[in-house]
Amino acid sequence: MLPKVSNEYTSIGCNRFPQVAAWGKDGTIAFGAYNYVALYYPEWVNSAILESHGGSVNTLGVTRAKSIIVDKDLIITGSADGVVKVWERSICDDVQDSVKCLQTIDLERKYPMALALSYLPESKNSTIQEPYKLKDGDLLLASASQDKYVRLWRVSYNGEVSSSLDSEEVSNGKSKEKKSLKELLENLPDDTKY
């Protein structure tokens, strides 16, 4: 009879960037670990490692998506390879998660510095035009890079993803329908400004 072998302990070090850590409402912790992202439950069980980036992971954001069934989360990761990835995490059992990459956004060698996910509050402001309205469950991702631009991305579970709303295109007059981030923020009701 062969002896039973099991993994007693798995360790992974975190990156030197303190902003590469986030946690969900259930206490799940996500942090950058070189080219990977490690996910841990409060009991400190390594539930998943996201392997896909070609550079050191330096920013991430986590949220539970309204449009995704219970026990699933969205994770956004950005790395030194100039790529932002959108992931979906599903709970398989008490010690393991299933993680699927939903989308890869190539920033064309631009370095993502910070990412965050959150729900936008309901707004009855008619100055925000139809292209900027989100469907139920949609998320808005804002990415800022060293090229001095903030880009807004619509993340939809149904596969519809808009292109970035780039302030450079607005200032060059390439798109008359698009507004700059400053204009969008100025049009928010007073109680939602940050």
Q: Is the pLDDT of residue 188 over 60?
A: no
* Residue 48 forms part of a structural domain: yes
* Residue 122 forms part of a structural domain: yes
What integer pLDDT is reported at residue 40 of this predicted model?
75
Q: Is the pLDDT of residue 134 over 60?
A: no
* Residue 84 forms part of a structural domain: yes
Query: Residue 51's domain spans which residues?
Result: 21-192
Q: What does each C-alpha distance from 86 to 44, 50, 125, 162, 168 come to in angstroms?
A: 24, 11, 29, 14, 24
Exposed, middle or buried: residue 189 (CB in 10 Å: 0-12, 13-18, 19+)?
exposed
CB 144 within 8 A of CB 181: no
* Residue 109 forms part of a structural domain: yes
Q: 156: which 2 tokens?
A: 């939809």
pTM for this prediction: 0.47
How many Cα atoms occupy the beta-carbon half-sphere of 5 within 13 Å? Answer: 1
**Stretch 163-173: mean pLDDT, rounded?**
45
Mean pLDDT, the chain, as a whole number?
Answer: 67
DSSP state of 101: E
Tens-place pLDDT, residues 83-130: 999 888 877 776 677 888 989 999 987 888 888 776 655 544 444 444
What is the rounded CA–CA span in Å between residue 171 and residue 156?
27
CATH of residue 138's domain is 2.130.10.10
Tens-place pLDDT, residues 10-26: 666 776 666 677 777 66
Tens-place pLDDT, residues 141-157: 666 666 766 677 776 65
What is the rounded CA–CA span in Å between residue 145 and residue 189?
27
What integer pLDDT is reported at residue 46 of this predicted model?
57
What integer pLDDT is reported at residue 123 of this predicted model?
45
* Residue 4 forms part of a structural domain: no
* Residue 124 forms part of a structural domain: yes
CB 119 within 8 A of CB 66: yes
CB 77 within 8 A of CB 115: yes
What integer pLDDT is reported at residue 170 of this predicted model?
42
Domains of the chain: total: 1
